[in-house]
Structure 1
Amino acid sequence: MEIATKDPLNPLIQDVKKGNLRYVANVFPHKGYIWNYGAIPQTWEDPNHKDSDTGCCGDNDPIDICDIGNKVCSRGEIIKVKVLGTLALIDEGETDWKVIVINTEDPEASDFNSIDDVRRLKPGYLEATVDWFKRYKVPDGKPENQFAFNAEFKDRDFAIKTVKSTHEFWKALISTKTSAGELKCMNTSVSDSPFCCSAGDAEAVVKSACASGPEDPIPSSGGCSFYFSHCFFVVVTPLKSHA
């Protein structure tokens, strides 16, 4: 599921690639997403801005978050989170930040204030996160993703700075100081934006959407797990016989 940034009002829809619905593969030992996966509103990773830390431009999307809390959120749910750190994924040559957060209403939220707390209290979780993002596109025939900073997580202060900078990029976008390109910036809440529309205009967009049709069947690979092995060559020397 994706925020459809090129559709009016940016609805949440199932992503389509080459005319087919996209599904996230199960890459062993992971089954589906291993956190609540979402995005921070009013942020934008500018594809025309080369990040001084990663050396790559943004991916033209809002900044992504991985909520490590215990609650499984509903699609489209809005939650308040505490920022803990961030991972710099390089996805097909673009900077794609993954901000590690925890829901402030999680019963364990008070125990988590830094990326080191995640490492200490959820051992193996950060390593699993790197592994997931590294390999999740391989079943689609794509190469493994790469990371900036040798796949090391940056701390809370760095993550907050990154969120704030992508918010500034969004403000430039929504005020037409930056070209939107194919993005649809139509909205009902940013009153000083030239893209702000009336409730009536927004309702007309919603009503113009096509009605839901029958579900497409999930492809046979949809519930399968994909396995990857690393092969090594060894030289086997026979043991000498002893008289």
Structure 2
Amino acid sequence: MRALLPLLSVVRGWRVGAAARPPRRVMSLYLTEERGLPHSEDYRLFFKSVAGHYISAFHDIPLKVDSPKNLFNMVVEIPRWTNAKMEISTEEPMNPIKQDVKSGKLRFIPNIFPHKGYIWNYGAFPQTWEDPYQKDKNTNCTGDNDPVDVCEIGSKVLSRGDVIQVKILGTLALIDQGATDWKIITINVNDPEAEKFHDIDDVKKFKPGYLEATLNWFRLYKVPDGKPENKFAFNGEFKNKAFAIEVVNNSHECWKAMLMKKCDHGAISCTNVHVCDSPFRCSPEEARSLIESVPAPSMSKEVSKEEERWHFLD
């Protein structure tokens, strides 16, 4: 991978066709650009380098920050306590963040008492891929065809599009429709309490009940939509840091194989700007052209509202 210059920048968000939001000052290597209205099918959040070039949130942001210290980059898709199911769009050029759509409707996660929306800052590890054509040796199930999901348990409510450095603490293996969907438990290295957390047992010690709530949340979050409870590998047991790091490293190898065209990538867009030797690599000018070729978002569509109802489940 081509190393990115260790520069610090100001992250600014823009909305095309609407008044710009006040600048959001975050120390980061990346800029973000919003297009379309939030909670609409047109909404996209694109990522840029500090030089102002469009990049892929999936492929161009490095996974590892500091290998000896096991620090990793996390892309925040969903801030804690919000309901909109935002995700990196794996099939669109340059992989912006958008809101998931199911059965023609924007997807919102229900409030299941006592939880409001997501109970962590939720997102993904860039440069990881859960290969749907390869069985996981631990679960005997194939991957879910997405980047690896991340639950950040720190005290701060983060913002969509933040790229933060996290420590891996452990993992939970959700089995979603027969596919392995790893949930990696992490903490922001800049969190005031980060120094206390080194492994999954520290979560049990310093945040009692949080892992139990996490398991219950993932077990029940689809039930209000009429679906059965989710299942887990290892009877819902959380695996430790070493296990989780191995999961992430394996998914990184799967991603490498995909970006080097050594395996079937299906409908996933592998276009990138920074991955050396990748046959899918393009120039910054080509990346800009790809994004500018997308039709401008319609600003007249009605904006959906977040889930307001509460669900009480036995």
Provide the secondary structure at the position in 1 that maps to 2:136.
Answer: coil
Question: Which of 157, 180, 186 is the equivalent residue of 1:95?
Answer: 180
- Following superposition, the deviation at residue 109 of structure 1 comes to 0.4
Other-structure match for 2:300: 214
Q: Deviations over 1:113-161 (max 9, x none)?
A: 0100000100000000001111111122211110001101000000000
The structure that has the greater radius of gyration is 1
Partner Cα separation in structure 2 for residue 77 and residue 68 of structure 1: 15
Partner Cα separation in structure 2 for residue 49 and residue 131 of structure 1: 28
Higher helix share: 1
Partner Cα separation in structure 1 for residue 296 and residue 115 of structure 2: 34
**Normalising by structure 2, what TM-score?**
0.71
Question: Which of 134, 146, 151 is the equivalent residue of 2:236?
Answer: 151
Matched, 1:135 2:220: yes
Matched, 1:61 2:159: no
Matched, 1:80 2:165: yes
Instruction: Give the letter aligned to residue 118 of structure 1.
Output: V
Gaps of 5+ in 1: 230-243
Question: Which of 148, 156, 164 is the equivalent residue of 2:249?
Answer: 164
Question: Which of 181, 195, 198 is the equivalent residue of 1:110?
Answer: 195
Other-structure match for 1:39: 124
- Following superposition, the deviation at residue 210 of structure 1 comes to 2.8
Stretches of 4+ aligned residues off by more than 4 angstroms? none
Provide the secondary structure at the position in 2 that maps to 1:80.
Answer: strand
Other-structure match for 1:4: 89
Higher strand share: 2
Partner Cα separation in structure 2 for residue 216 and residue 102 of structure 1: 36
Instruction: Give the letter aligned to residue 302 of structure 2.
Output: D
Other-structure match for 2:262: 177
Gaps of 5+ in 2: 1-85
Aligned residues: 228
Provide the secondary structure at the position in 2 that maps to 1:116.
Answer: helix
- Following superposition, the deviation at residue 215 of structure 1 comes to 4.9
- Following superposition, the deviation at residue 192 of structure 1 comes to 1.1
- Following superposition, the deviation at residue 218 of structure 1 comes to 2.9
Report percent identity of matched pairs.
Answer: 57
